[in-house]
Each structure stands twice: as structure tokens, then as C-alpha cells.
Amino acid sequence: MENLSIKEFYKEMCGNNSTLLDEFLGNKSSNDWGHFNVFDIMNFYYSGSKKTEMTYNRRLYYKISLIKGKNLVEYADKTVLIDKQGILFATPKIPYRYTPQSSEQAGLFCLFTPEFLSKSKIGFLIDELPIYQPNSDFVYQLNDEQYLEMEAIFKKMEAELSSDYAFKYDLLRNYLLQLIHTGQKLKPTESQTHATNAASRIASLFIELLERQFPIEHESQVVQLKTPIDFAQTLNVHTNHLNKVLKETTGKSTTEIIHGRIAEEAKLLLKKTPWNVSEIAFALGFEEVAHFSNFFKKRTALSPLKYRN
């Protein structure tokens, strides 16, 4: 799934330029795992004085953006204003949007899949790092000295990507970890809550996170966010607050929406795939087949096998 998302990212950025697309996708050793690349923000998001909004899209890769210019970052019920320059550590688990507030924009960003870091000799599991925890703030304001320190690491990455050094991907992993550890030492930028937009934003983020898990395309793909607590922790809001927002905006509780979507996916898998009931139950996050059968029967008045037949 990660490589597919990377391809979608490049296709969006390159348009019909197949040569450029091949160049970007080929920027990876066939003997290495995962994907990594570095870009200049100006080359991708801005044309003259045009301002481009970074929307909530389906990101299955990690992204670190070094931003120079005034920008507004929105996630969950919070907004953060990057007044001059900052750095953003984006994870697939937290959808966000940032919007330039001026035409003067610069900086760099890198994107990578989790496999890229897991290949490290010290075996980093990226989601165990503090900066990528659900309750972590991931936007940091930078002073001039901090910006130059971060920029120097990005420049080293850029230079190494085009080198012929046999172990360059090991070196790139070290640079990436240096960037992450430097970020973890920073003080998070103070966020503000705007009640007028917060409810609709939380609701849309919840739906985005829910839908991101579907469709289930292979047996090894397992639903990770299954309960209201799972979603609330990922969105960094209280479970009761999430439920209140969804009740106000959709008329349904958090549990009702989650269960309804899982039931719809179960129907599709029973009708469209040859997988047995146990495989479907596991993919949908059920540890016991009996629990899945009871769940399905409660919503359809049929057992999974009777529905399939």
C-alpha cells in the first residue's frame, strides 16, 4: 500500500510528465527497502504568487516539511500559525491541512515509507518514536539558527541522493534520524482552538480516518482503528468530545458510524471475495470468528454464511 501511495503522490505532482515520474520512482536502490526522497517546496506547490492549500488526502507515507513563510496548519480541533518558519512532522495517522498565508514561501520536504527506517541496523519502528505518537504535537516554530540547522541536514540528503556512494541509503537513514531527533528536542508551537470550525473539521477528519482503512484488498490488510478510543487518541481529542461532535454533525454516535462502515465492508467481502469467514473476520479486526458472526447477524439478521449464499 505504501508504494501505491508514493506513486499517487508523484502522479499528482508530475501530471503527464512520464519522464519525471520515472525519474522520481527510480530514485531507490533495488537492493534497498522502502522509499525516500527530498524536494524543494517551490518546485512542487507554488507557481509565481499562486498559493496552494495542502488538503486532507490519503497519505500512507511519512513526510517532514521544513517551511519558510507564513502558514496556517489545521488538525483535529487545533490550528497553528507558523509565523516565519517551522517544521512539520506528518504521519499517516493524523490527517492535517496547511495553507500558505503569503506568497513568499520556501523550504524543503522529504517523504519516506516506514520500511525505509525499519531497515536501519538499530531497527527503528517509527511509530514508537515520541514525535509520532498520537498525542504528540507535530508542528514546531523555528528560529533562524534552528532553521539553518535543519536546512543543512536536508541539503546533505539532497546531495547524497545523487551520489554514487554504495551505502548512501544507510547514510540517508542516519540523516533522517538526525532530523527526527533534532525535532523531538524542539518545543511545540502553541496551538489555538477555534470552536466555529473545530466541530466540522473533527467530523471530517474522523470520516477520513475511517475511510482510509477501506477497501480491504488482501487478507493481510487489517483494520487498525476499531473503537471510539482508537479514533479519539489518533485525533488527540477526548472520546466524549468526539462522540458529541459526531452526534451534532451526523446524528449518529461514534460507535454507530464505525460499526456501520465495518458492516458494509463485511457485506462486500462476503459477496466479492473467495475469502472464508475467518479471514474476513480477522481483516476487519475481530479476534474471534464468533464475535464477528454475532456482530454481523445483529446488523443483517443473517449469519455471514447465509448472507453469502
3-state secondary structure of 82: strand
pLDDT over 70 at 19, yes or no? no
pLDDT over 90 at 102, yes or no? no
Quickly tell me which residue has 520536504 as its cell: 109
Question: Fold match between 2-192 and 194-308?
Answer: no
Q: In this predicted model, which residue has the larger pLDDT, 47 or 296?
A: 296
Mean pLDDT value across the chain:
81
pLDDT over 80 at 167, yes or no? yes
pLDDT of residue 94: 74
pLDDT per position as a tens digit, 149-162: 999 999 999 999 99
Q: What is the pTM of this model?
A: 0.63
Rounded to whole angstroms, how far apart are CA atoms 118 and 291? 34
Alpha helices in 228-303 (DSSP H): 228-235, 239-250, 254-272, 277-283, 289-300
Task: Report DSSP state, residue 219.
Answer: T
Average pLDDT over residues 20-41: 64
Quick one: how far is CA 12 from the chain centroid? Answer: 16
Question: What confidence category does residue 11 fall into, taking pLDDT thresholds of 50, 70 and 90?
Answer: low
Rounded to whole angstroms, how far apart are CA atoms 241 and 231? 11
Domain positions in the chain: 2-192, 194-308
- Per the CATH hierarchy, to which homologous superfamily does domain 194-308 belong? Homeodomain-like (1.10.10.60)
197: region left, alpha or beta (phi > 0 left; psi from -120 to 50 alpha): alpha
pLDDT per position as a tens digit, 108-140: 999 888 888 877 655 567 777 888 876 677 889
pLDDT over 90 at 241, yes or no? yes
Cβ-contact 4, 11 below 8 angstroms: no
Q: Does domain 2-192 have CATH number 2.60.120.10?
A: yes
3-state secondary structure of 186: coil
48: region left, alpha or beta (phi > 0 left; psi from -120 to 50 alpha): left
Quick one: how far is CA 251 from the chain centroid? Answer: 27
